[in-house]
Structure 1
Amino acid sequence: MIVVGGGIAGCSVAYHLTKLGITDVVLCERKQLTCGTTWHAAGLVTQLRATRRMTELAKYTGELFQTLEAETGQATGFKKHGSLRVANTEARFEELSRGASMGRNFGLAVEQVTPDDIKKMWEPINTEGVVGGYWFPNDGQVNPADVTMAYAKGARMGGARILEHTPVKRILVEGGRIAGVETDKGQIRAKRVIICGGMWSRDLAAEIGVALPLHAAEHFYIVTEPIPDLPKKLPVLFLGDECAYYKEDAGKLLLGCFEPKAKPWGHDGIPEDFCFDSLPEDFDHFEPILEMATKRVPLIANTGIQLFFNGPESFTPDDRYLLGEVPEVDGLFCACGFNSIGILSSGGVGKAAAEWIRDGRPPMELADVDVRRMQSFQTNKKYLFDRTTETLGLLFDMHWPYRQFATARDVRRSPFHDRLLAEGAFMTEAAGYERPGFFAGKGKTPEIHYSYGRQNWFDLCGAECHNTAENVTLFDHSCFVKFEVEGRDALRVLNRICANNIDVAVGRIVYTQWLNEQGGIEADVTVTRLSETSFLVVTIAVSQRRDFAWLRRHIPDDAHVFVKDVTSGMPMLALMGPKSRELLKVLSPADFSNEAFPFGTSREIDLGYARVRASRVTFVGELGWEIYMPTEFATHVYDRLAEAGAPLGLKQGGYFAINSLRMEKGYRHWSHDIGEEDTPLEGGLGFAVAYDKPGGFIGREALLKQKEQGGPRRRLVQLMLPDKDAPLLYHHEPLRWNGEIVGSVTSGAYGHRIGASLGMGYLSLPQGVSEASLAEAALEVEVAWKRYKVKAQLKPWYDPQGARIKA
């Protein structure tokens, strides 16, 4: 096993590999340990992150830092002085409150504090304008170089070899699998390699066609001269509204920032001899932060600056690090792109990566940071340069619901893009695709005003939902990913991968999941049988590389199967609503009746002058068809639908409406409501499992075992807040029964057809999860530190019998 890179991530991976008994480990560092980014990190150790799993990884890191020094004998400089997160606005306070509530799901120690409390805990602060905040007693700080050396010493104690001044010149790949590395001292062969090369990782991987999108940016902080009478053991202080953090160390204050407009660095390459280097000072760039700081912490105004530091750190396009086995090369892993949270993530990342390498699968649901979520185009240097100007600052900016990136946009467009803009589309982005969030109306300029409540597009979205229920609405689904799978063994291989039985008549659509050996859901797809030997697989935009890699890796070497990604050549429109049949009949001679074209059927039809594929399925809970077409026919099909649909009330619909509509119907979203740790039985998808089909399927034994044990102990349920003024649910809000946390929300939206705030979430009740127990349970949901009554049931809120989709 080879680890490339001797920063804190690489040393943690090596340490954790030896902890698992994997002792034949070689770590190659180009210069000296910590010499790239680690040595100049601020050393903040906080635990609350944006999602559950990222928080759990950070929580593990903080716990490990408390014992690492005793285990290795190497000092780490760990101080558990806690942290304060402070809000200057009500909006920021709600953001902090929602995050604090999420932390309660997994036992994170957190307390709400008032401005007076904050003043007592952090005496130098001026609390003018402060609304409140939250206290995290288990947070702290560490010396990054020392803790890295502790990891390295622990790795050596476990049998690992660490080779400094041994740059890896090339990754070796043979037959699509990793074979080792080539260093300046020769080759080292290995069956597993992990790239932990920080800001060098992108270029090293790119040489063998592997996409690791990250870009370095300048990161600034100052250290004051010693301050007489500065209180010792001050908590780390975070002021997101001022883009700043403060850390007391040895009688001085370190003031760092994540400014709104960052300075990318290393765009044309990183110098070969870069080692323990800093970048030129830029006081003008830092001055706005310092000006706010002198007002917030007045003693800084009268204190000299001992050090003005500027050093590079690497950032990814979505501010989440890259972890796991890369999709392009079997046996090649990565742990890089840490967006300034490498220190606090290091323990959890090292442990997760080591277990992933050992087992060949992630140890937990890690979709947020799984490298397979990224798109190949995102390694484009110009794209990364422009996006990095924004991503650094987003770490401390407001994390609004539906927040959209402002930089590096308009990369992937559907053929309908200009027509959608003409209809007043506000474009959102997913996997680089521009797709409409909502429509302001023809001739209007759409804009979004963020909040945690009902945003300015709320009523527009409601109109799109009602039109879908009453008339007919057109949705652009071109970003949905399509794979063609064909060959004489296609049925056998694909049926082994799918939990449902896809051995159906030509022209039938099968809804199914792809499971891992533990029964967890790796993908949520539809499979259409095109012929005896060919199939069309449709999945979501963000899973493009992930699902393609999963499919490729589960095709036996000797199977006669060919897989092609045809997404770019096959745009798709979804025509949904009770008048969709009437509209199609105007444009096509095909028979769209229930008898001739039942739900779950797909066939080629004439539409206008084009030949298209029409599939009768829905993700919004109304009668409708998905229409697939070659790209060159796309605008013709769109224009004919728009023209013929006008008398029937045809309107455009966006993805905010889709989220509302699917929530009412209980349609799951992969990576939110279902994922690799959730089985179909837990997710309420047992109807899509064919236990007795010939040849079985991956994960079958795990599901049978779960059934034999009396079924799952946790279940995905549908949630409704009955109060008309109830807040909106988003994700990770705790669910309580008799005051105890028994689950959490996975996703939420306002249901406009129902007229209520809705959500989905997993519950584990002492009496079991059934319709009867849910009817009796007095459930509450905690939103932003407050509790609200919530109803729960297993069936969807809207049209639970599915009568409308089969009308």
Structure 2
Amino acid sequence: MSNLPDKARVVIVGGGISGCSVAYHLAKLGWKDIVLLERKQLTSGTTWHAAGLVGQLRASQNMTRLAKYSADLYVKLEAETGIGTGMRQNGSITVALTPERKEEIYRQATLARAFDVEVHEISPREVKDLYPHLDISDVVGAVHLPGDGQCDPANIAMALAKGARQLGAKVIENVKVTAVDDRDGRVTGVSWARGEEQGVISTDLVVNCGGMWGRDLAARSGVTLPLHACEHFYIVTEAIPGLQRLPVLRVPDECAYYKEDAGKMMLGAFEPVAKPWGMDGIPEEFCFDQLPEDFDHFEPILEKAIRRMPMLETAGIHTFFNGPESFTPDDRYYLGEAPELKGYWVAAGYNSIGIVSSGGAGFALAQWMNDGEPPFDLWEVDIRRAQPFQRNRRYLKERVTETLGLLYADHFPYRQMATARGVRRSPIHEHLKARGAVFGEVAGWERANWFAAEGQEREYRYGWKRQNWFANQRDEHMAVREGVGLFDMTSFGKIRIEGRDALALLQRVCANQMDVAPGRIVYAQMLNARGGIESDLTVTRLSETAFFAVVPGATLQRDLAWLRRHARPQEFVVITDVTAAESVLCLMGPKAREVIAQVSPNDFSNEAFPFGTAQEIEIGLGLARAHRVTYVGELGWELYVSCDQAAHVFEAIEEAGASSGLKLCGLHALDSCRIEKAFRHFGHDITDEDHVLEAGLGFAVKTAKGDFIGRDAVLRRREEGLIRRLVQFRLTDPEPLLFHNEAIVRDGRIVSIVTSGNYGHFLGGAIGMGYVPCEGESEADMLASTYEIEIAGERFPAQASLKPMYDPKSERTRL
């Protein structure tokens, strides 16, 4: 007789720490009829052999919030469930062997302070005091986080599972989910098998916590879950006499971490070139298994470790372990509802930080499922960032050879992936390459980031100071400010929204007035119920029933999902991704009009072609749709050209622009121009957690038009007043650089972080943006303060402005 129910409110697939955490947190919220199915035994995939490091500091405030939540939860679980979690907060030390790494970890220390994580920069001698076994002869710096620690991963998963059971959840082992059933675009149930027994559980909600099995399970439902298993190595020594409790130690310059446990030492590796595993799928019988040893692969790490910690030379090796873990194309895990199938949720792909992540991730996903929206900005781990092509297994195999090692590589700004490149290319890619383009990659798109001069190497030389392309960016930036530049922005996401009810949908999801005349372009935000920004886009009305939306390439899947989710069943509206149909060439700068007039007979005067409008034009021997908008703050047009004509139009513009000094420009110059103009960047300056009024975008909100998503939150915030405001900063010292996550210091106290930064070549200093608390304050109060930006522990004076420092009245866009 089966102990499996016929129906459930939610079925969780996978009994590792991720699945157990989701079950626990849903049960904590009072959910009933929770069923967790594990194909073999709890923890038998990856959790059981995880190293169990608990580091609180992550790359963003919300990821740090989740990691801190995990650490606090693991401390409390033992008292709640009676299962020992092995959690001890013995701290962690990260040491730097190079000046570049010292700069990185000191920047991380600044970030930790901004996030209220206790951190101390310590000297090599202080490292030796805390870790007497270490050779510090070449250590140049270190940071110590006393609140970090280590734990027993399998016991934590068991404690979470017990906690879920105590609250009524069913946790059932040795049941394999064979399929997630669906109908009409939403989940209807789960098919399962146990030996000869088979059945179906009827449910509207499934959570894929399948780890390295998760990708193939998702693919059977048409869901993109890009991850791939890699071999992960560590050794555990025999007991070492006299070895006392020690902090967790990370030596990223040697790709190594160390953990003392019960008088033994664990040495783990994140080697630069990893070994993918399971190309043909994970074996059916895999359960508490390990992979064959590969001492040759691990030996370079071990050799450095013996020099770093000489006692290892005489310590016997008790265990040489090689176990698989899943890694993703960008080293960030996946959370949220899959855009392809309603009711299909994901919590998987933890990139060897699953233990510290899963407590917080389970909490966040449970809140998201319960409330219908995430508890705070989770875009960096949102499943909607995944691109459909990324389910390609060859792509994943090649990419994860790199991403495992990147966990301990130098996290230099602008660092580009080296593997699995060239998947998506503009029709003029080869033209740009021939003219010196150095490419970066976003959402699979190859994009010209900067153009090398003749004879200059076409490679990045990474560092925390001015990189080898800084002068190239300056020349491109100034060409846009003083002459004319041409950008290839084919990677823009492009969406057609058309049909009888297209306008009704857009009026409901967009905060601006969308009922405009055909040919008008509307800058708008799609808001959530809290007034947070779900999407930042332009929408062009093509006809009474057809609209054309332009979004960042990285957010295309998210934006498509949001639009489709809010289209009502009775509405006649078709939403189509047309990104690949058109190239986009952006002609920008005060001389843009004189160049475009040479290749087109159309009238580009202000009277005939005002700002914020679009027209079909003749250009060269072909046709294009010209949009008079800008993301650099200058006169210019975005030219939407069918891909078959893109090369011709490019050649015609290039030839016509020669006499005007036309310069090809890359994405780095685009970003430095936009930040001078204080244009917001989605995912950094504006997120679903940032209120549209506090982001300074109230001009694009028209509450008088009638109801739309977020309208009540806008009216409420207008009445109650702003809590914080987005401010633009310029460092008065022209030398330092800003990237993001530097600390904003107001009157001597850290109040926030820089959300995005670049160099303002026209303004003569680094420019950053960030939110400053302002409750009950006037603009004059805010600007009367003294501001500094802390970079790697050093503070630099900064000017602050609530208006764009460059062209505050936007006169240049209307030249």
CA contact (8 A) 1:424 1:445 kept: no
Say if 2:722 is the partner of 1:712.
yes
Say if 2:322 is the partner of 1:322.
no
Tell me: CA distance 1:412–1:769, structure 2 relative to 1, closer, same or farther (3 Å): farther
Q: Write out per-residue CA displacement over residues 501-551 of structure 1, whole angstroms, 9 at most, x where no aligned residue.
A: 011111010000000011100000000000011000000010011000001
1:165 is paired with a residue whose SS is: coil
Normalising by the residue count of structure 2, what TM-score does the alignment of the two structures yield?
0.98
Residue in structure 2 matching 1:14, options 6, 9, 23: 23
State the alpha-carbon separation in 1 of the partners of residues 166 and 746 from structure 2.
Answer: 47
CA contact (8 A) 1:45 1:343 kept: yes
State the alpha-carbon separation in 2 of the partners of residues 379 and 103 from structure 1.
Answer: 35
Deviates more, 1:129-138 or 1:436-445: 436-445
Say if 2:661 is the partner of 1:652.
no
Say if 2:74 is the partner of 1:62.
no
2:143 is paired with a residue whose SS is: strand
Say if 2:621 is the partner of 1:613.
no
Residue in structure 1 matching 2:682, options 670, 677, 680: 670
Say if 2:225 is the partner of 1:215.
no
The one-letter code of the counterpart of 1:230 is L
Residue in structure 1 matching 2:703, options 684, 691, 696: 691
State the alpha-carbon separation in 2 of the partners of residues 773 and 574 from structure 1.
Answer: 40
Say if 2:431 is the partner of 1:423.
no
State the alpha-carbon separation in 2 of the partners of residues 769 and 350 from structure 1.
Answer: 40
Deviation at 1:767, TM superposition (A): 5.5
Q: Identity over the aligned pairs, expressed in percent?
A: 55
The one-letter code of the counterpart of 1:405 is M
State the alpha-carbon separation in 2 of the partners of residues 211 and 560 from structure 1.
Answer: 27
Say if 2:119 is the partner of 1:107.
no
Tell me: CA distance 1:445–1:781, structure 2 relative to 1, closer, same or farther (3 Å): closer
2:70 is paired with a residue whose SS is: helix
The one-letter code of the counterpart of 2:179 is R
The one-letter code of the counterpart of 1:382 is R
State the alpha-carbon separation in 2 of the partners of residues 435 and 272 from structure 1.
Answer: 41
State the alpha-carbon separation in 1 of the partners of residues 48 and 748 from structure 2.
Answer: 45
What residue is the counterpart of 2:3 in the other structure?
A: none
Say if 2:96 is the partner of 1:87.
yes
2:286 is paired with a residue whose SS is: coil
Query: 1:32-431, aligned counterparts within 5 Å?
Result: 32-184=41-193, 185-231=198-244, 233-431=245-443
1:368 is paired with a residue whose SS is: helix
Deviation at 1:769, TM superposition (A): 5.4
State the alpha-carbon separation in 2 of the partners of residues 549 and 769 from structure 1.
Answer: 39
The one-letter code of the counterpart of 1:782 is E
CA contact (8 A) 1:267 1:381 kept: yes
What residue is the counterpart of 1:790 in the other structure?
A: 798
Deviation at 1:724, TM superposition (A): 2.0
State the alpha-carbon separation in 2 of the partners of residues 323 and 114 from structure 1.
Answer: 39
Tell me: CA distance 1:493–1:765, structure 2 relative to 1, closer, same or farther (3 Å): closer
Normalising by the residue count of structure 1, what TM-score does the alignment of the two structures yield?
0.99
Say if 2:708 is the partner of 1:700.
no
Deviation at 1:398, TM superposition (A): 0.4
Say if 2:732 is the partner of 1:722.
yes
Deviation at 1:765, TM superposition (A): 3.7
Say if 2:807 is the partner of 1:799.
yes
**Any stretches of 5+ residues in structure 1 without a counterpart?**
none
Deviation at 1:212, TM superposition (A): 0.1
Q: Write out per-residue CA displacement over residues 357-413 of structure 1, whole angstroms, 9 at most, x where no aligned residue.
A: 111111110011001011010110000000011000000000000000000000100
The one-letter code of the counterpart of 1:414 is S
What residue is the counterpart of 2:604 in the other structure?
A: 592
State the alpha-carbon separation in 1 of the partners of residues 710 and 786 from structure 2.
Answer: 35
Residue in structure 2 matching 1:576, options 563, 568, 588: 588
Deviation at 1:444, TM superposition (A): 4.8
Say if 2:635 is the partner of 1:623.
yes
2:77 is paired with a residue whose SS is: helix
Say if 2:504 is the partner of 1:495.
no
What residue is the counterpart of 2:6 in the other structure?
A: none
Residue in structure 2 matching 1:525, options 499, 514, 537: 537
What residue is the counterpart of 2:5 in the other structure?
A: none
The one-letter code of the counterpart of 1:721 is L
State the alpha-carbon separation in 2 of the partners of residues 453 and 621 from structure 1.
Answer: 27
1:632 is paired with a residue whose SS is: helix
The one-letter code of the counterpart of 1:722 is T
Q: Write out per-residue CA displacement over residues 723-743 of structure 1, whole angstroms, 9 at most, x where no aligned residue.
A: 122x21121222122322222
1:611 is paired with a residue whose SS is: strand
CA contact (8 A) 1:749 1:758 kept: yes
Deviation at 1:793, TM superposition (A): 0.8
CA contact (8 A) 2:722 2:774 kept: no
The one-letter code of the counterpart of 1:783 is I
Deviation at 1:106, TM superposition (A): 2.0
CA contact (8 A) 2:437 2:448 kept: yes
State the alpha-carbon separation in 2 of the partners of residues 226 and 312 from structure 1.
Answer: 26
What residue is the counterpart of 1:735 in the other structure?
A: 744
Deviation at 1:167, TM superposition (A): 0.6
CA contact (8 A) 1:294 1:301 kept: yes
Residue in structure 1 matching 2:483, options 445, 453, 471: 471
CA contact (8 A) 2:724 2:775 kept: no
What residue is the counterpart of 2:522 in the other structure?
A: 510
Say if 2:497 is the partner of 1:485.
yes
State the alpha-carbon separation in 2 of the partners of residues 786 and 154 from structure 1.
Answer: 46
1:629 is paired with a residue whose SS is: strand
Residue in structure 2 matching 1:757, options 745, 766, 770: 766
State the alpha-carbon separation in 1 of the partners of residues 454 and 185 from structure 2.
Answer: 50
State the alpha-carbon separation in 1 of the partners of residues 499 and 607 from structure 2.
Answer: 31
CA contact (8 A) 2:75 2:85 kept: no
State the alpha-carbon separation in 2 of the partners of residues 632 and 767 from structure 1.
Answer: 56
2:814 is paired with a residue whose SS is: coil
CA contact (8 A) 1:52 1:732 kept: no
Deviation at 1:66, TM superposition (A): 1.0
2:418 is paired with a residue whose SS is: coil
State the alpha-carbon separation in 2 of the partners of residues 534 and 549 from structure 1.
Answer: 19
Deviation at 1:443, TM superposition (A): 6.3
Q: Write out per-residue CA displacement over residues 557-584 of structure 1, whole angstroms, 9 at most, x where no aligned residue.
A: 1101011111001110000011111111
State the alpha-carbon separation in 2 of the partners of residues 381 and 390 from structure 1.
Answer: 15
State the alpha-carbon separation in 1 of the partners of residues 35 and 360 from structure 2.
Answer: 20
What residue is the counterpart of 2:12 in the other structure?
A: 3
State the alpha-carbon separation in 1 of the partners of residues 463 and 634 from structure 2.
Answer: 30
CA contact (8 A) 2:87 2:150 kept: yes
Deviation at 1:469, TM superposition (A): 1.2
2:235 is paired with a residue whose SS is: strand
State the alpha-carbon separation in 1 of the partners of residues 556 and 214 from structure 2.
Answer: 22
The one-letter code of the counterpart of 1:376 is P
**Any stretches of 5+ residues in structure 2 without a counterpart?**
1-9
1:717 is paired with a residue whose SS is: strand
